[in-house]
Structure formats: structure tokens, C-alpha cells
Amino acid sequence: MSKKNQHLHILGICGTFMGGIAAIAKQLGFKVSGSDANVYPPMSTQLEQLGIELNSGYQVENFSDDIDMVIVGNAMSRGNAMVEYMLDRNIPYISGPQWLLDNVLQDRWVIAVAGTHGKTTTTSMLAWILEYAHLSPGFLIGGVPQNFPCSARLGDAPFFVIEADEYDSAFFDKRSKFLHYRPRTLVINNLEFDHGDIFNDLSDIQKQFHHLIRTVPSNGLILSPANDPAISETLAMGCWTATEFAQHDTHLEKGWQVEKLNAQGSEFIVKFDGTTQGVVKWDLIGDFNIDNGVMAIAAARHAGVPSSIAIEALAEFINTKRRFELRGTVNGISVYDDFAHHPTAIAKTLAAVRAKITQQTQVGRILAVFEPRSNTMKSGIHKEALPLSLIDADQVFIYQGEQVKWSLDDMIKQCQPPCQVEDNIEKLVDNIAQQAQAGDIIVVMSNGSFAGIHDKLLNRLATITV
């Protein structure tokens, strides 16, 4: 049966990964439809523009009689009405990562970006560098890139850039997604414990990364920081591929070195094997973005893009949405949206903001607003590390959501900056708005929508005289 006659139905289609699968399947000529618990933008808008039929909810009526294959997202579980219907009637099904391997990745030079933090940003940077170099890469990004009109596309052979997530593939395939990708170029940005809902400890995650390393060919390349103990331990478990490392100083004799030209990280020198490759000047801030940028330059070099071209590209890079994204400024108070949801990411984001305002001699304060929303954070696994991660804020506001399984009241005592905990969004917004002053930077951190708190804050700040 030709692809144009095959009908794929995607369960969980509005997630960034599954939505990307849908877009690529459509480009390949498949008929595509999908269901999700809630059909919501930005993915719903992107898919509707592609002419993909979307269904809200998981009613079995969403299955039409002509469906040839169901692509099952990892948010699906047994007991879901459409999953049970699919199994009872023996409708063929597959995970998203496996479908991608079978239909797209088999014959491509896959450049995969893995790690606990920075995957989406680095993948976006890398795809943009290859695009800037006129290589027209395919890509699948787990976020909303701003240098492209979409989060995924088939592209032209040979290169395909993909965000390589360690989360499991489906309810029937508990391997990490990235084990399906078979990269030739692999970036491992960092490695920490996360996803406490599916991993018991860091060694569980390291085992999955070790399996990933086993799939990289000997003529490929693995890129990582030089000073990450967890990555070093994982590589020591067995590595059959050339490696290059990056470090934030010039003491590394081989590999990639970085020399910052200002504290906030908006300008830095890039060197390889001691030879200067150029100076990156961009709108991003923070050491973590420098790390992301160097990994993107190094991976692009392996794909044949000169470092000088990659550095030019990064000067025109616009960061992925929800990565320290300015949502608005009212009465001199700026509200930023950031995806940080792990203590390390929170600490790095706030440290970057602190460096930015210090260099600019800005008199305003940093107000950190955090929602513990990830499964790991809601379970309380990171509760001891959370107070220290907020140390660069001047004032902290935390939302005690209904699904948070531990009391945040201890945060008030343990957090060095003044800390307030609130279980009502409207009250939280009022508290922040009443205490905000002209010149302040409000950094809202969550991996979800946070009940639209950004717009609520901006609207509330507009009613207050500061």
C-alpha cells in the first residue's frame, strides 16, 4: 500500500514530539489524524494549518474505519478508551520513536541532542546552523523554535537533527526514546537525575545513555562537556566512538574551549584544539547557553559546517519560546517565561539573570515565581535542592498545586531569599503584583502553562501604580 493511501491516527498528537511526528508523516504523504485530551495551541494551530484532523478527547468514535496504523504517544496508558479499543480489535500500533526510525531515520545522518538540560535549545541552534549553511536539514524539536515556522520537518537528505529524550517510548516499550534514533553524531549536554516517575536513580538513567552510546558507529562522534562526572562514568562503561570535549577555560589541550568576554555570556571566544574559531555575539545570556552553543558548533562541524559559519548563524539565532522569553513589560516591570523545572536549570537561569542585571548596573530585583509541576518535582525528590537553587533571587513566590505531594511550607524557612507559598493562583498574582517595583524582573518558571499566570501578572501590574 502506498503512503498516500495509508491512514495514521496519532494518540497524544498535541504534544511537541507527537505533533512533530504528525507533521513529518503528512509531508511523507500519509493521511494523518489524531486525538488528544485537550486540543491546544501552539501545536494544534500548526497541525490545523497542515490540514490534519484533530479530535479533542479519547472517545472511540475518533477512530474511523479506514485507519491502518495507530501511533501511540507515551502519555497513553492501559485503561484509555482508545487504547483498549485498539488492542481489542487488533488494530496495528507502534510507538512514535519506532515509527520515526522505520520511516525517516534509517537512511539519514542523525544528529541527536541528549542530556538532562538544554536539549530543545541546542537542537534548535543546531538545526538553524545547518539551515544557515544551506543544508536544509530535517529536524524534530521538542519545543517551538523561532528561526523556523514549525517544530518539525522532513528536510532534505542527509541530515536530520533530533532532540533525544531519555523518557520512555510507550506503555508497551519502556526503552528511552533515543534508543530508536541511531545517531551518527551524538551530543550529551549533561547528565543528572530526573524523571523520578520512571527511573529509580541516576544509575538507571546512565544505563539508558550507555545503551545509546552503544548505537553510535565507530566513524561517528560523541560530544560532551569535559567536567561532568556522570557522563564520564557512562562513557567508561564502554565507548567505541571518537569523542570531543568542551570546557569553560583554555586548560584543555584538545577539544573545545570557551573564553567569556562578559559576565552575562552574551559574547565569548570559541577555540578548538587551542585555535580560535571566532567570537559569538548573540542575544542569549548564561553559561548554560554558552555550553549549548559550543555543542551546536561542534556537532555542525562534524556535519561539515565550518565553525566560522556556525558562529555567524548563532548571531542570528532566536531562542526557543519559553526559554527566558520576555512576555511583556508594564510600569517598568518585566515578566519573563522560562521552562526551568529542575533545581540545576532554575539555579542557572537565575544566575544568568543576576549576571545580566549586575553588568547593566540595573537597580531592580529578581522575583522568582516557581510552579513544581514535573512528576519528579511534585513527588518531592528535589525538595532539598530547591531552596539553594533559588539563592540568586531577591524574593521567591511558589505555587502549591493540588498535585504536589509534599508541603512547601518548609521552603519559607529553608529558602535564603524571602519566600511566600500560595495555593491559589489569583492570590499569588496579587501578592507578586503588590510587591513588585519598577525595574524588577519577574522570572516565571514552570514546564507547563502555569494557569496563564504570565498574562494575569501583566494585566494585574497594569492596574497598580508603582
451: DSSP letter: G
State the pLDDT at residue 466.
52
Query: Residue 339: what pLDDT?
Result: 83
State the pairing for strand pair 138-140/152-153. antiparallel
For residues 327-337, average pLDDT: 91
Confidence at 5, pLDDT banded by 50, 70, 90: confident
Q: Indicate if the pLDDT at residue 436 is higher than 80.
A: yes
Widest CA span of the chain, in angstroms?
A: 66
Model confidence over 40-75: pLDDT tens digits? 777 788 888 889 999 999 999 999 999 999 999 999
pLDDT per residue over 65-101, tens digit each?
Answer: 999 999 999 999 999 999 999 999 999 999 999 999 9
Whether residue 4 has pLDDT greater than 80: no
| Mean per-residue pLDDT, 2-22 | 88
- What does the block give as the cell for 260? 567569556
CB within 8 Å of 297: residues ≥ 6 apart: 129, 256, 270, 277, 307, 310, 311, 314
Confidence bin at 1 (pLDDT 50/70/90): very low
Give the Å distances, CA to CA, from 202 to 97, 112, 129, 292.
23, 21, 32, 22
What average pLDDT is seen over the chain?
A: 91
- Given a cut of 60, is residue 259 above it in pLDDT? yes
Q: Give 463: exposed, middle or buried? Use CB within 10 Å, 0-12, 13-18, 19+.
A: exposed
Q: Bridge partners of 278?
A: 270
Average pLDDT over residues 3-31: 91
Residue 160 φ/ψ region, left for φ over 0, alpha for ψ in the -120 to 50 degree band, beta for the rest:
beta
Residue 412 pLDDT class (50, 70, 90 cuts): confident
**122 pLDDT tier (thresholds 50, 70, 90):** very high
Q: Using the CB atoms, write b or e for 432-458: b if 16+ within 10 Å.
A: bbeebeeebbbbbbbbeebeebbebbb
Indicate whether 447 pLDDT > 60.
yes
Give residue 357's pLDDT.
Answer: 81
The three-state DSSP-derived secondary structure of 32-81 is EEEEECCCCCCHHHHHHHCCCEEEECCCHHHCCCCCCEEEECCCCCCCCH
281, three cell numbers: 555575539
Tens-place pLDDT, residues 142-194: 888 888 988 999 999 899 999 999 999 999 999 999 999 999 999 999 998 88
215-224, 243-252, 344-353: which has the highest mean pLDDT? Answer: 215-224
Mean pLDDT along residues 220-245: 96
Q: Which of 398, 402, 444, 403 shows the shortest CA–CA distance to 421?
A: 398
Give the HSE-up count for residue 454: Cα atoms under 13 Å, Cβ half-sphere: 21
| % of the chain beyond a pLDDT of 90 | 65
Query: Does residue 455 carry a pLDDT above 50?
Result: yes
